Structure 1
Amino acid sequence: MTLAAGSLHPVWLRGFLSLLQSVDGIDVVGHASDAPGLLDLLARQRPDMLVIDSTMLQPVQSLAGPGDPLPRVLVVGRATHAGTRPLFGPDGCCGYVSERESESTIAELIGQVGRCTLARPAPGGCADCPVPRSFRPPSLPFSEREREVFERIGWGLGPSEIAAQLGVHVKTVETHREAIKRKLGLSSSTQLLDAAFKWRDGEPLASASSSAPPERGAA
């Protein structure tokens, strides 16, 4: 399996290349620390797989044109989970792994993506592959509708915009916002916005209990 690596942070890149030496069957064909250089590398080497730092993914996707298809992509980031931004799945990435995970876990995911025989993942993730599940953030103690509201708060949407997207009344959105604040132990809209932004970016919520079952809430 041939692999290319990319990161905007050269020190991180050197450390990650050292980790790749522990993964059997990998031939690292090159690496780059800027988006144009990485796209040039992909065009020249046509690797089977790209491992990329999450901070570099969006610049690469912004520059890549129809003639620059990315190979199978595993995103490695500093956050504990992939977050809720609609960035990863629709753009064809295979999975996400936090660099806080053990080296063996990271190596295992790289191996799983590398052993795949598909050129690109199916939309939303391939049915039989366990790797796409690594994108999903841990569960929160919310109803499904509360989760939808919380995610959209993190996307920067206000109550009216959220209500329009979900097809509900603004007052319903406000009710869900208050329920979310109560469950997270928050006392203000500013704290709610900060928590939603952190969750969007893959950071854990100190007040959120991932083991608590979600409540059944009204839509």
Structure 2
Amino acid sequence: MKHRIFILEDHPVMRRGYRVLINGEMDLEVCGEAETATEALEAISSAAPDVVIADISLDGMNGIEFIKCLHARHPGMDVLVVSMHDESLYAERALHAGAAGYLMKTEAESRVIPAIRRVIGGRYAVSERIEDQIMVQFAGRIPVKEAARLPNPLSQLSDRELEVFELHGRGMSTREMAEALGISAKTVATHRGRMKNKLAIESTPELIRRAVLWMQNEVREPADVP
């Protein structure tokens, strides 16, 4: 009996790459695909996957919110996040939301199949860096070799604030962000004010500039999975 894998990914080339890798394994098969979280939530009930592969950046609901909604409908369903976003900022958020693993897309070709098998086996699939980071927090201490490292300022933001920050970096207007997130323009403005306070930024133009630079420098598309 093959283990069933559902793919939530908005890039067709990446979906094709995952499909080729997964269907090339004797014990795995792709049971469904979706471009958006909404489509995935509708399809997963009938697809009945063992593992869902999900991206973070999606149209409408992002991957973090998708995991929360999925577990509200299907408690315990395993999700493996494969994303272009920096794992130091997003991996813990994904795990707290209920994901069973987090991979960078740059590592997908070589690591996605072993990661799927780890998740199926009831284990977490994360990099050594994230394992160390989690253990440090669990132990309540910071190793000497890490003491001089400053935390990422964006780690202060809530999941929703980080989502709004990213949308600022994508050049979206307040109205567009409100529509994309299903919230009011006033709520977007409230998140913006909280972000400025947390990041010690005085003006909205400076916040937008920082967000655009972050998108350019921190978020990079990987090479296509063959």
- The alignment's TM-score, normalised by the length of structure 1, stands at 0.55
1:54 is aligned to 56
- Rounded to whole Å, the distance in 1 between the matches of 2:152 and 2:108 is 31
Structure 2 residue runs of 5 or longer lacking an equivalent are 134-144, 166-193, 201-205, 221-226
- Rounded to whole Å, the distance in 2 between the matches of 1:102 and 1:41 is 24
- Rounded to whole Å, the distance in 2 between the matches of 1:18 and 1:73 is 19
Partner of 2:5, secondary structure, is strand
Partner of 1:50, secondary structure, is strand
Check conservation: 1:95, 1:135, Cα contact below 8 A.
no
1:78 pairs with 2:84: yes
Structure whose CA Rg is larger:
1
- Rounded to whole Å, the distance in 2 between the matches of 1:26 and 1:134 is 25
- Rounded to whole Å, the distance in 2 between the matches of 1:46 and 1:113 is 16
Describe how 1:10-159 pairs up with structure 2 within 5 A.
10-56=12-58, 57-58=63-64, 60-61=66-67, 64=70, 66-69=72-75, 71-79=77-85, 81-85=86-90, 87-101=93-107, 103-116=109-122, 129=123, 131-133=125-127, 136=130, 142-143=147-148, 146-147=150-151, 151-152=155-156
Measured at CA, do residues 68 and 113 of structure 1 come closer, stay the same or move farther in structure 2, by a change above 3 Å?
A: closer
Amino acid at match of 1:71: M
- Rounded to whole Å, the distance in 1 between the matches of 2:36 and 2:151 is 35
Cα drift, residue 67 of structure 1:
2.8
1:162-182: per-residue Cα shift (whole Å, max 9, x none)? 8xxxxxxxxxx9xxxxxxxxx
1:62-82: per-residue Cα shift (whole Å, max 9, x none)? 654733436111111124x42
Cα drift, residue 58 of structure 1:
3.5
Partner of 2:72, secondary structure, is coil
Q: Which shows bigger deviation, 1-10 or 21-30? A: 21-30
- Rounded to whole Å, the distance in 2 between the matches of 1:135 and 1:68 is 30
Check conservation: 1:78, 1:100, Cα contact below 8 A.
yes
Check conservation: 1:48, 1:114, Cα contact below 8 A.
yes
- Rounded to whole Å, the distance in 2 between the matches of 1:62 and 1:9 is 22
1:111-163: per-residue Cα shift (whole Å, max 9, x none)? 211233xxxxxxxxxxxx4524467299896537x32767338967779758x
Check conservation: 2:8, 2:33, Cα contact below 8 A.
yes
Check conservation: 2:67, 2:98, Cα contact below 8 A.
no
Amino acid at match of 2:94: F
- Rounded to whole Å, the distance in 1 between the matches of 2:214 and 2:120 is 32
Measured at CA, do residues 95 and 36 of structure 1 come closer, stay the same or move farther in structure 2, by a change above 3 Å?
A: same
- Rounded to whole Å, the distance in 2 between the matches of 1:55 and 1:31 is 16
Measured at CA, do residues 55 and 149 of structure 1 come closer, stay the same or move farther in structure 2, by a change above 3 Å?
A: closer
Aligned residues: 163
Amino acid at match of 1:89: L
Check conservation: 1:23, 1:111, Cα contact below 8 A.
no
- Rounded to whole Å, the distance in 2 between the matches of 1:112 and 1:103 is 16
RMSD (CA atoms)? 4.2
Check conservation: 2:89, 2:154, Cα contact below 8 A.
no
Q: Which shows bigger deviation, 51-60 or 37-46? A: 51-60
